[in-house]
Amino acid sequence: MEVKIRLNSVDDTQMLAEIISGYVFPGIIIGLTGDLGSGKTTFTKYLSKYIGVSDNLNSPTFTILKIYDGYYKLYHMDVYRLEDIGYDYELDEFIYGDGICVIEWYPYIKTMLPQEILSIDFRVIDEFTRDVTIKGEGPYEKIVKAISDRYCH
């Protein structure tokens, strides 16, 4: 299942994160793509807020992985630096763990991931506007449907 939406502000990004936070479950994998500055980390900051993370979240670009405590563990990965070398890192315990796994640049380690994930692709239109494509099958379909119900009416 797939839905395409337009976010016209940071507040819209926050609303998207809030909607998704209502559907998270232990073991969820959220894969994010988009150019630098497209909203991947901003989305993750808002998602972390809605799942009870009190720490200030920032991009794990140079550390690959940051772990935060909230209602669930949040495993926030930025795998941009792992293109073609992802297997040298032991990320399986986090990817297949019982927390919420958010992976920026997930296509770089796509072969390490299960077939079913929630993918969110951010495309910059202008300074504030993003076109976003959200895809999910199996247990992720209800999330995509909830987003579709909110934005596509």
**Could you give all domains of the chain from N- to C-terminal order, each with its CATH number?**
2-151 (3.40.50.300)
pLDDT of 123-139, one tens digit each?
Answer: 999 999 999 999 999 99
52: left (phi over 0), alpha (psi -120 to 50) or beta: left
Task: State the pLDDT confidence band at 153, using cuts at 50, 70 and 90.
Answer: low
Report which of 33, 42, 36 is spatially closest to residue 122, judged by C-alpha positions.
33
- Whether the Cβ atoms of residue 53 and residue 66 lie closer than 8 Å to each other: no
pLDDT of 3-62, one tens digit each?
Answer: 999 999 999 999 999 999 999 999 999 999 999 999 999 999 999 999 999 999 888 777
Report which of 38, 107, 43 is spatially closest to residue 74, judged by C-alpha positions.
43
Please state the separation of Cα 132 from the chain's center in Å. Answer: 12
Instruction: Write down the pLDDT at residue 75.
Output: 97
Straight-line distance from the first to the last Cα atom of the chain, in angstroms, rounded to the nearest whole number: 17
